Amino acid sequence: MTLPLKLQVFEIIESSVKNDWRGRWFDLFMMGLIICNVTAVIVETLPGLAEHHYAFLDAFDTFSVIIFTIEYLARVWVCTENLTDGYEHPVTGRIKYMLTPLALIDIIAIAPFYLVMFFSVDLRFMRVFRLLRLLKLTRYSPAIETFAAVLKDQRRPLGAAMVVMVMLLVFASSIVYLFEREAQPVDFASIPHAMWWGLATLTTVGYGDVTPITMGGRLFGAVIMVLGIGMFALPAGILTSGFTHEIKRRDFSVTWRLVAGVPLFAELDAIKISEIASLLHPRQVPSRYAIVKRGEFADAMYFIVTGEVEVDIHPVPKKLSNGEFFGEIALLKDCERTATVTALTECQLLYLDSHDFHRLLHANPEIREDIESAMKHRLAELEADDTDP
């Protein structure tokens, strides 16, 4: 059944799951357009070049604003299809959406163009202001999205580290001011003046334009340099830990959805699915790849998430697709593989190694019954094939 136009547009431009090729191409097109816009702004600053290509650059800017405007209006139109974030109401829902950070970035990206049309402002300044369109990449780039999620999750530890660094900056600037105010009354005229030295020293940048010359100031500066190395390593450690946690969380979330999509596990509750998701491992194989081969030692059972495979049962090979599984016979009977299974298309699989396989069946008798029933049916097919003349 064909989806309504509004829902189709929502799936293309707003859905986080880009199963539709149109959605993937839309994201690629918008990312390319944003990068070209930023490149154009940079190129315009080259002496002489902007004058020779002004007409083209101006036309490209107009074209870009038209696309960005249509995109923004389309997002506002279809946001009421988002039932998870509370945008259902046709008026208040759209207002709530327009006040979200990503929607504000969208409007900021096109605002300079319209401000120049209606207000007398410095055109050169407004053109450079278009560099803010680079922020729109946060909507399309998974890497930037991950970084934003890490900053949000780690905002408290990062905030605490920032407070400690500000305190250290004030302390360092105050002490060096006391040491250097008489020897260098211009460079260290006040604590705010000394903060420039403190910031350059704590960050280990060391511009060298302002340096202590007294013995006390130099000794204290050496201590601050060592402290600065440790203090500015603290946010790096927090971000590293945050990235590790976020990547693990996303990997688990993807695996959980894949497990929930397998019919064998569809009737299980969320806790059971989470337990199984922690045991399964994702694997992606290309087309025409032999996943298992007849006579090999059995070390895993496989579940097909997407794609199609072929089992070389004679005389007619059998095809398996989304939601089906294979490899259970050799694990249950503790024998060699009874058939070769080849990927007909690119396949996304989940596999369960032999140790976890037996643990899973022991803890879930209902799953064991389903798998044993499927095994008996397949063994019957194999025996029937062997007895055929």
Q: Is residue 146 part of a domain?
A: no
Q: Is residue 278 part of a domain?
A: yes
Q: Is residue 255 part of a domain?
A: no
Q: Is residue 263 part of a domain?
A: no
Mean of the pLDDT values across residues 142-170?
84
CATH number for the domain that contains residue 165? 1.10.287.70
Task: Please say which residue of 184, 214, 248 terminates a domain.
Answer: 248
Looking at the structure, do residues 191 and 286 belong to the same domain, yes or no?
Answer: no
Say how far apart CA 183 and CA 217 lie, in whole Å. 10
Looking at the structure, do residues 21 and 134 belong to the same domain, yes or no?
Answer: yes
Q: Is the pLDDT of residue 189 over 80?
A: yes
Predicted local distance difference test score (pLDDT) of residue 218: 92
Predicted local distance difference test score (pLDDT) of residue 126: 56
- Residue 214's pLDDT band, with cuts at 50, 70 and 90, is very high
Task: Please say which residue of 215, 248, 281 terminates a domain.
Answer: 248
Say how far apart CA 341 and CA 371 lie, in whole Å. 18
Task: Please say which residue of 108, 140, 172 terminates a domain.
Answer: 140
3-state SS, one letter per residue, for the chain: CCCCHHHHHHHHHCCCCCCCHHHHHHHHHHHHHHHHHHHHHHHHCCCCHHHHCHHHHHHHHHHHHHHHHHHHHHHHHHHHHCCCCCCCCCCHHHHHHHCCHHHHHHHHHHHHHHHHHHCCCCHHHHHHHHHHHHHHHHHHCHHHHHHHHHHHHCHHHHHHHHHHHHHHHHHHHHHHHHHHCCCCCCCCCCHHHHHHHHHHHHCCCCCCCCCCCCHHHHHHHHHHHHHHHHHHHHHHHHHHHHHHHHHHHHHHHHHHHHHHCCHHHCCCCHHHHHHHHHHCEEEEECCCCEEECCCCECCEEEEEEECCEEECCCCCCEEECCCCEECHHHHHHCCECCCCEEECCCEEEEEEEHHHHHHHHHHCHHHHHHHHHHHHHHHHHHHHHHHCC
Looking at the structure, do residues 285 and 324 belong to the same domain, yes or no?
Answer: yes
Predicted local distance difference test score (pLDDT) of residue 353: 86
Predicted local distance difference test score (pLDDT) of residue 172: 92
Q: Is the pLDDT of residue 20 over 70?
A: no
Q: Is residue 35 part of a domain?
A: yes
Looking at the structure, do residues 241 and 280 belong to the same domain, yes or no?
Answer: no
CATH number for the domain that contains residue 340? 2.60.120.10
Looking at the structure, do residues 106 and 208 belong to the same domain, yes or no?
Answer: no
Q: Is residue 212 part of a domain?
A: yes
Looking at the structure, do residues 59 and 174 belong to the same domain, yes or no?
Answer: no
Which pair of structure tokens corresponds to residue 140?
Answer: 């399309």
Q: Is the pLDDT of residue 290 over 60?
A: yes
Looking at the structure, do residues 164 and 104 belong to the same domain, yes or no?
Answer: no
Predicted local distance difference test score (pLDDT) of residue 103: 85
Looking at the structure, do residues 308 and 241 belong to the same domain, yes or no?
Answer: no
In the chain, how many domains are there? 3
Which pair of structure tokens corresponds to residue 298?
Answer: 């059995």
Looking at the structure, do residues 67 and 98 belong to the same domain, yes or no?
Answer: yes
Q: Is the pLDDT of residue 385 over 60?
A: no
Domain hosting 163: range is 155-248
The backbone torsions φ and ψ at residue 213, rounded to the nearest 5 degrees and listed phi first, read -120, -15
Predicted local distance difference test score (pLDDT) of residue 194: 92
- Residue 389's pLDDT band, with cuts at 50, 70 and 90, is very low
Looking at the structure, do residues 79 and 173 belong to the same domain, yes or no?
Answer: no
Q: Is residue 145 part of a domain?
A: no
Mean of the pLDDT values across residues 127-154?
73
Query: Tens digits of per-residue pLDDT, 40-78?
Result: 878 877 777 666 777 888 888 889 889 989 989 999 998
Q: Is residue 257 part of a domain?
A: no
Looking at the structure, do residues 232 and 283 belong to the same domain, yes or no?
Answer: no
CATH number for the domain that contains residue 22? 1.20.120.350
Q: Is the pLDDT of residue 121 over 70?
A: no
Query: Tens digits of per-residue pLDDT, 333-359?
Result: 778 888 889 999 888 888 888 888 888
* pTM for this prediction: 0.54
Looking at the structure, do residues 303 and 372 belong to the same domain, yes or no?
Answer: yes
Q: Which residue has the higher pLDDT, 125 or 189?
A: 189
